[in-house]
């Protein structure tokens, strides 16, 4: 398992499709929003949590088609399916590699980008906490979508259409945690809901992803 995780991390960093592309997209979204809505500080403060969460979500979405597609094309996925390692563990490692190379950098730079959107200082810590708790669900759900569309020509668009509706609950509660934290309100309810969504997806979706892969590999 460790060797597979290290391999996926090296491939992602070499290709640049996760780490660099996600950060660049996140930065572009954050920079362009003030130009589109105007320089009103109060308005930017109000929409900052939602904008940052939406940017992180879309940045994670960009690299999902690479989670399984490269292994499908070179035959590695067939070898992994016949290896002693359970397929459920394989897709879990794939999701973990995607989270480490795509989501974690976004979490780390989010406070800096929050400054550009005039996010209140009280919201920085809650923004980081919400992204740290919520982005694992994005990676696991995205891996499930990648398993559904693996092997399909031009499956990237279909993957986006399948995954985006499943991302909505995570987006709602994640942005709500950051918004309430920035406003000084209690974040207990949305924080627990966000943690519950991530825990449920991590516990259940690897089995669904493995089952779908077994069907696609026949």
Nearest to 145 by CA among 71, 73, 212, 218: 212
Identify which has the larger pLDDT, 1 or 34.
34
Helix boundaries (H) for the chain: 2-15, 19-37, 41-62, 69-74, 76-82, 87-98, 104-116, 122-149, 155-183, 188-216
**Cβ neighbours, 10 Å, residue 209:** 28
Minimum mean pLDDT range among 13-17, 101-105, 160-164, 185-189: 13-17
Q: Is the pLDDT of residue 156 over 80?
A: no
DSSP 8-state assignment for residue 217: T
- Tokens (6 digits) for 14: 């070499």
% the chain with pLDDT above 90: 52
pTM to 2 decimal places: 0.91
User: Residue 192: pLDDT band by 50, 70, 90 thresholds?
Assistant: very high
User: Residue 74: pLDDT band by 50, 70, 90 thresholds?
Assistant: confident
Over residues 10-29, the mean pLDDT reads 75
Q: Is the pLDDT of residue 35 over 60?
A: yes
- Tokens (6 digits) for 75: 């035959």
**pLDDT confidence of residue 210:** 92
Identify which has the larger pLDDT, 95 or 22.
95
Q: Are 71 and 213 in contact (CB under 8 A)?
A: no
Over residues 165-191, the mean pLDDT reads 95
Q: Is the pLDDT of residue 216 over 60?
A: yes
Q: How far is CA 199 from CA 123, 125, 134, 141, 195, in A?
A: 24, 21, 10, 12, 6
Q: Is the pLDDT of residue 56 over 80?
A: yes
Minimum mean pLDDT range among 8-22, 69-83, 174-188, 194-208: 8-22
Give the contacts of 166 (CB within 8 A, at least 6 positions apart): 141, 144, 145
Q: Are 9 and 60 in contact (CB under 8 A)?
A: no
Pairwise CA distance, residues 114 & 11, whole Å:
30
**pLDDT confidence of residue 15:** 59
Pairwise CA distance, residues 194 & 130, whole Å:
8
Nearest to 147 by CA among 96, 202, 92: 92
Nearest to 64 by CA among 151, 152, 155, 133: 155
**pLDDT confidence of residue 196:** 97
Exposure string over 139-166, b if 16+ CB within 10 A, otherwise e: bbbbbbbbbbbbeeeebbeebbebbeeb
Q: Are 85 and 1 in contact (CB under 8 A)?
A: yes
Q: Is the pLDDT of residue 18 over 60?
A: no
Over residues 39-60, the mean pLDDT reads 91
Q: Is the pLDDT of residue 97 over 80?
A: yes
């Amino acid at each position: 398992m460790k060797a597979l995780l290290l391999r996926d991390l090296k491939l992602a960093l070499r290709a640049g499709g996760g780490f660099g592309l996600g950060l660049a997209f996140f930065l572009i979204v954050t920079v362009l929003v003030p130009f589109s809505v105007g320089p009103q500080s109060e308005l930017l403060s109000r929409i900052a949590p939602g904008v940052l969460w939406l940017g992180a979500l879309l940045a994670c979405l960009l690299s999902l088609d690479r989670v399984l597609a490269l292994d499908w094309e070179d035959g590695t996925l067939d070898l992994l399916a016949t290896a002693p390692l359970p397929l459920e563990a394989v897709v879990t490692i794939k999701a973990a590699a995607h989270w480490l190379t795509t989501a974690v950098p976004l979490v780390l730079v989010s406070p800096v980008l929050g400054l550009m959107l005039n996010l209140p200082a009280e919201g920085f810590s809650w923004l980081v906490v919400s992204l740290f708790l919520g982005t694992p669900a994005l990676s696991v759900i995205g891996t499930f979508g990648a398993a559904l569309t693996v092997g399909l020509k031009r499956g990237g668009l279909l993957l986006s259409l399948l995954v985006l509706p499943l991302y909505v609950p995570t987006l709602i509660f994640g942005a709500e945690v950051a918004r309430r934290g920035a406003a000084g309100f209690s974040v207990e309810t949305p924080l627990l809901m966000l943690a519950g969504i991530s825990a449920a997806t991590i516990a259940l979706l690897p089995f669904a992803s493995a089952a779908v892969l077994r069907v696609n590999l026949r």
